[in-house]
Chains A and B, each alone.
Chain A
Amino acid sequence: MVIENLLPPFDRWILLALPIWLGVILAVLLVGVFLGWLAGALERGPAAALRQVIRALGQGYEDFVRRLSFGRIWGLAYLAIKECYRRKVVAVFVIFLILLMFAGWHIDPANREPAVLYLNFVLSTTTYLMLLLALFLASFSLPMDIRNRTIHTVITKPVRASEILLGRAVGFAVVGTVILLAMGVVSYFFVVLGLNHRHSIAPENLVPLGEGQSAEGTLTGLTTLNYGHRHRVYVDIGGEGRVEVSRGHYHKLRVVGSGENVRYEIGPPEGFLLARVPIYGKLEFRDRDGLDTDKGLNVGDEWTYRGFIQGASPAALIWTFEGLSPRRFPEGLLLEVTLGVFRTHKGNIEKGVLGSIAVRNPKTGLYVETEIFESKEFAEAAEIKQLFIPRKIVKPTSVQIIQRKRNTPEGIKLSPPNEEVDLALTQKQEFDLYEDLTDNGRTEIWIRCLEPGQYFGAAQPDLYIRSRDASFVLNLAKGCYGIWLVMVILLAYGIAASTFLSAPVAMVATIGVLVGGLFRDFMIRLALGQTYGGGPFESLYRLVTQENVMTELEPGLGTLLLKMADVLARGFLFAVAAVLPPLGQFGWSDWVAHGFDIPWDHVLIRSIQTFAFALPALVVGYFLFKAREIAE
């Protein structure tokens, strides 16, 4: 499993996002003003409607900026909290506990990736329950108050509509936070206890390592089978033991006593719950002629995510990393790689395809190959391949100067140019990662396929430097925070919908926002014409007539009408997508479950996005609420 880090750093993101947000807000404002004026004009005439709209805008400014009372907001929030408490909303937590109980019985700890299974379960269950809770609370509360007319008693106090909506949102968010915190804490202990297991090994099960292998006197053996797996154990001649990684974890081994009284104690599992901090580089490709390209080969896979390079050729996958320093990585670089393998012939199917990893100085072109490795196409997904590039490279498998070649309008450009090539660099026996192979913190990692007729494929996130791990508990908290952000967005949209719709309709509308938000990226691609088979109407036509999505439609009036309808539909889709929150990008469960640290930049960006969507939704809700006759 590879986690994509698609967001730019915060400082770049905000410069891109802010103008778009302002544009959408302005467009919504203009549409709202026009619709408000139109509705007023039909009833009272254009001039009176204009006065009404101007007064409403002024009132909105007063209610949200000048006269907003935090005391009243908290009063209303406190009411919402009391309501939830007295109406036994805490039952959601009880449901969660019951689900965990059943899960405890049915989750198979012998699974290939038990930590992923457990974490995915608790995070998905938490997400579904919290979203359901948000849907119900937000959609039902205000319409119930209007139906019971309790709102009459509230609204005849000096309460502003903005305070009624914000108070509810704050109150429900507080309730959601408390329940989410409780779920998070219980989830953590559930996962830790669920993954906890022990193995044992008896001294008689340890045998000397086979001949020809190093470390004379070392004993080895397999632990007992627990939770569907065993570990290989090594005990060296000095009595030091270690347990090999299996199913993504290992155990600590303690050797007690000696001689005939020796006993081996294997501790609890470690390494299940991780928060890796990957540092990504920029991926470029080198083709079989040794020329740089932006894209790799397509091996006929419909999923063009990975680009491939041909084996036994100059082709390479090249990742450029920046900001490396001995202070950050004093021992060297720990790389984690997930490679796609494509075979054009079977070869030795028992073995993986051979590849090499090398480090290259981008300035001098010094290329030092550090390791030959094997990569299997059906490798266990959980076992991401780890490769280590030490600080001191003593026995490189290959050393050379490689010039990068890029096709430019002026011809082939070499880097470094011929006049700067210094072949003397290759004469050294020992290389320092930072002194010889890094230029101002920048270095290149090259992966090549060594077997003819076979291919390696990768996308940018497939190789990263693993920095020091972050705290898993903190990462779990960030994952829960992601759920909280989605809950806040749904609360805001639900409350806004409930200002003018009845409770069930408001709920359906909010579900629509949820589903639309999850498919927002697709809607935008559809609206921008980046999908196969045309827009919604053309796609529908193709679906009905079973027309291939790749062929052009027959020219004619029908096609013209379809295309014109699609232009309108695309505009509509784009407008709808613009006001929908990108909920599909908010899920951090995969990050937590697969052991990747959620970057703080993401946390900050998603937090800002949440409030950038939630607050305008509440403002729209405010105007709809103000326009409504409560007692009608």
Chain B
Amino acid sequence: MSGGGTQNVPEVVVETRNLTKVYRDFWGRQKVRALKALDLTIFRGEIFGLLGPNGSGKTTTMKLLLGLLFPTEGQALVFGKDATDVSKNERIGYLPEETYLYRFLTGEETLDFFGRLFNLPAAVRRQRTAELLELVGLTAARKRQVREYSKGMARRLGLAQALINDPELILLDEPTTGLDPIGTRAMKDLILRLRDQGKTIIMCSHLLADVQDVCDRIGILYQGELKELGRVDALLKVRDITEIRFSGGDGALVEEVKEVIERRNGKVHFIGNPTTTLEELFLQIIRESELHPGRRVRGGVSGDGH
């Protein structure tokens, strides 16, 4: 994405400009500044992860993109339209943090209802409902009311409803919460498969390993400010450790390098650039941010994203 030349500029799906959200109390007094001047661009076909501790503004960002909240300042554009424009929802699928579904409907009725909201013809609704229930493994439970579903089942149904319109942009708020390891793996595989189909995915998650597994790019928010933005692999690269890459060498050369290191009382465990974990990176950024509030953290990690 980032490396695309001018002849192959990827399509911008989501763009925020100076997006700011201030929560006020009944009397109009400022309660909290949840998001501060967020500038963000998300391109077609990528999986973008929004990370941040509780209260960092990631859900606020998500809600601003969905038009559930109105920006105090700035603008959020989705498919080039203002986020409050309802027509953009034709191309969007949204899985909320909790599964906010009507508990009195059955799984089948739920998908049929959301299909109606897209004005899908009855035959298409029936077909999509059957396909999606099969996809999320709820075919056997399709006649049961959602109130009888386990959290994981409700989550999977939530995902199915987000896909009922075959959306181009999918917003997933904590998609793996409540899923068992197998469900989590299946969800991550599905996310990757959707990306491969050309869909754009924005996800929030606290489960950093999940984000690391699937996201192409991430943005890290802290106290409403964007602290880091870039490709996952680049962000995780450790710059003060040299990774030797070479070609044309053979095993003898490698052995020689090893010998040199060992002659200097070193021990070689691995030759190559080590990577840190996403969790490490996340915590480091949080620590840095607390030490230097208001400053964008670049420290020892790279930031060659967009």
A288: chain B residues within 8 A (beta carbon): none
Say if the beta carbon of B114 comes within 8 Å of chain A.
yes
Interface stretch, picked from B42-50, B95-103, B201-209, is B95-103
B178 to chain A, nearest CB (A): 16
Decide if B104 touches A87 in the complex (CB within 8 Å).
yes
Interface membership of A587, Cβ < 8 A: no
The distance from the CB of B91 to the nearest CB of chain A, in whole angstroms, is 9
* Between-chain CB contacts (< 8 Å), 15 pairs: A72-B117, A78-B116, A82-B104, A86-B145, A152-B96, A153-B96, A153-B101, A155-B68, A157-B89, A157-B117, A159-B86, A160-B86, A630-B69, A632-B23, A632-B69
Residue contact A149 to B100, C-beta cutoff 8 Å: yes
With a cutoff of 8 Å between Cβ atoms, the chain A residues found around residue B69 in the complex are: 629-632
Q: Mark A602-615, 1 if CB is under 8 A from B, else 0.
A: 00000000000000
- Cα–Cα, bound, A630→B100 (Å): 14
Cross-chain contact B116 with A72 (CB below 8 angstroms): yes
- Assess the B68–A156 pair: CB atoms within 8 A: yes
Closest to A75 in B: B116
Give residues of chain A (45-83) contacting chain B, Cβ–Cβ below 8 Å: 63, 67, 69, 71-72, 74-76, 78-79, 82-83
Seed contacts A75-B117, A78-B116, A157-B117; 7 additional CB < 8 Å A-B pairs: A69-B119, A72-B116, A72-B119, A78-B113, A150-B102, A152-B66, A629-B69
Task: Kindly identify, within residues 96 to 133 of chain B, every residue whose CB is under 8 Å from any CB belonging to chain A.
Answer: 96, 98, 100-102, 104-105, 109, 113-114, 116-119
| Minimum distance in angstroms from B271 CB to a CB of chain A | 49
Q: Is A42 on the interface with B (CB-CB < 8 A)?
A: yes
Which chain B residue lies CB-closest to A153?
B100
Residue of B nearest to A74 (CB): B116
Determine the chain B residues whose CB is within 8 A of the CB of A508 once the complex forms: none
CA distance A155 to B83 in the complex (A): 12
- The answer, yes or no, to whether A411 is at the interface (CB within 8 Å) is no
- Given the complex of chains A and B, what is the CA–CA distance between A469 and B102 in angstroms? 51
B70 with A629: CB separation less than 8 A: yes
Known interface pairs A79-B102, A148-B100; A156-B87 also in contact (CB < 8 Å)? no
A631 shortest CB reach to chain B, Å? 4
* Interface residue? A238 (CB, 8 A): no
B126 to chain A, nearest CB (A): 15
B229: chain A residues at CB < 8 Å are: none
In the assembled complex, B33 has its CB within 8 A of some CB on chain A: no
B89 nearest CB neighbor, chain A only? A158
Interface residues of B in 225-279 (CB under 8 A from A): none
> What total of A-B pairs shows CB separation below 8 Å?
83
Most chain B Cβ neighbours within 10 Å, of A67, A78, A630, A631: A631
Complex: A284 Cα to B190 Cα, angstroms: 86
Min Cβ gap A213→B in Å is 73
Interfacial chain A residues near B158, Cβ < 8 Å: 153
Q: Does any Cβ of A come within 8 Å of B90's Cβ?
A: yes
A42 to B161, CA, bound (A): 40
List, in ascending order, chain B residues with CB within 8 A of A630's CB. 68-69
Distance of A630 Cα from B90 Cα, bound (Å): 19
Contact of B119 among A71, A87, A150 (CB under 8 A): A71
- Pick from A63, A79, A158: contact of B118, CB under 8 Å: A158
* B158 to chain A: closest residue by CB: A153
Task: Give B119's nearest chain A residue, CB to CB.
Answer: A71
- Pick the residue among B66, B102, B114, B116 that contacts A71 (CB under 8 A): B116
The 10 closest A-B pairs by CB, nearest first: A75-B116, A631-B68, A86-B104, A157-B117, A158-B89, A156-B94, A149-B100, A631-B63, A158-B90, A71-B119
Chain A nearest Cβ from B142, distance in angstroms: 16
Return chain B residues, CB-CB under 8 Å to A148. 100
B28 at interface, CB cutoff 8 A = yes
List, in ascending order, chain A residues with CB within 8 A of B100's CB: 148-153
A154 within 8 A of B: yes
Select the residue from A75, A150, A154 with max chain B CB neighbours within 10 A: A75
User: In the complex, A629→B114 CA distance in Å?
Assistant: 22
Bound form: Cα–Cα A632–B23 in Å: 8
Chain A: which residue is nearest B59 at the CB level? A631
Q: CB-CB < 8 A to A75: which residues of B? A: 113, 116-117
Residues of A within 8 A of B96 (CB): 149, 152-153
From A42, A151, A160, contact of B28 by CB (8 A): A42
Query: Least Cβ distance of B162 to chain A in Å?
Result: 9
Interface string of B140-166 (1 = CB under 8 A from A): 000001000000000000100100010
CB neighbours (8 Å) of B119 from chain A are 69, 71-72
Q: List residues of chain A with CB within 8 A of the CB of B98.
A: 149
Q: Name the residue on A nearest B87 (C-beta).
A: A158
- CB-defined interface of B59-89 with A at 8 Å, one 1/0 digit per residue? 0000100111110000000000000001101
Q: Are B105 and A82 in contact (CB under 8 A)?
A: yes
Q: Within 8 Å CB of B102, what residues of A?
A: 79, 83, 150
With A72-B117, A78-B116 given, is the CB distance from A150 to B101 under 8 Å? yes
With A87-B104, A632-B23: A79-B113 Cβ-Cβ less than 8 Å: yes
Q: Answer yes or no: B92 CB below 8 A from chain A CBs.
A: yes
Of chain B, the residue at the smallest CB distance from A632 is B69
Q: A residues 617-632 with Cβ under 8 Å of B? A: 629-632
- With a CB–CB cut-off of 8 A, which chain B residues contact A67? 87
User: Are the CB atoms of A158 and B116 closer together than 8 Å?
Assistant: no
Interface string of B11-44 (1 = CB under 8 A from A): 0000000000001000010000000000000000
Is B94 a contact partner of A153 (Cβ separation < 8 A)?
yes
A150 to B70, CA, bound (A): 19
Minimum CB distance partner of A149 in chain B: B100
When chains A and B are docked, how far (Å) is the Cα of A150 from the Cα of B109?
Answer: 15
Least CB distance from A164 to B in Å reads 10
Nearest CB in chain A to that of B82: its residue = A55
In the assembly, what is the distance between CA of A607 and CA of B222, in Å? 57
A157 to B117: give the CA distance in the assembly, Å: 7
Shortest B70–chain A CB gap in Å is 6
Min Cβ gap A499→B in Å is 15
A83→B118 contact, CB < 8 A? no
- Residues of B with C-beta under 8 A to A63: 86
**Chain A: minimal CB distance from B171 (Å):** 8
Q: Which residues of chain A are near B87, meaning CB under 8 Å? A: 67, 158
Within 8 A of B (CB), among A455-494: none
**In contact, B114 and A157 (Cβ under 8 angstroms):** yes
Task: Enumerate chain B residues within 8 angstroms of A155, measured Cβ to Cβ.
Answer: 67-68
Q: Is the CB of B117 within 8 A of A158?
A: yes
Contact A153 to B116, CB < 8 A, known contacts A83-B104, A630-B68, A631-B63: no
Minimum Cβ distance to chain B for residue A81 (Å): 11
Residues A154 and B117 in contact, CB atoms below 8 Å apart: yes
Q: Smallest Cβ distance from B138 to chain A, in angstroms?
A: 17
In chain A, residues 101-117, which have Cβ atoms closer than 8 Å to a Cβ of chain B? none
Q: Which of B63, B90, B92, B100 has the most chain A CB atoms closer than 10 A to its own CB?
A: B100
Q: In the bound complex, how far is the Cα of B94 from the Cα of A150, in angstroms? A: 12
Residues of A within 8 A of B104 (CB): 82-83, 86-87
Instruction: Determine the chain B residues whose CB is within 8 A of the CB of A149 once the complex forms.
Output: 96, 98, 100
Of all chain A residues, the one with the shortest Cβ separation from B113 is A79
Complex CA gap A525/B160 in Å reads 59
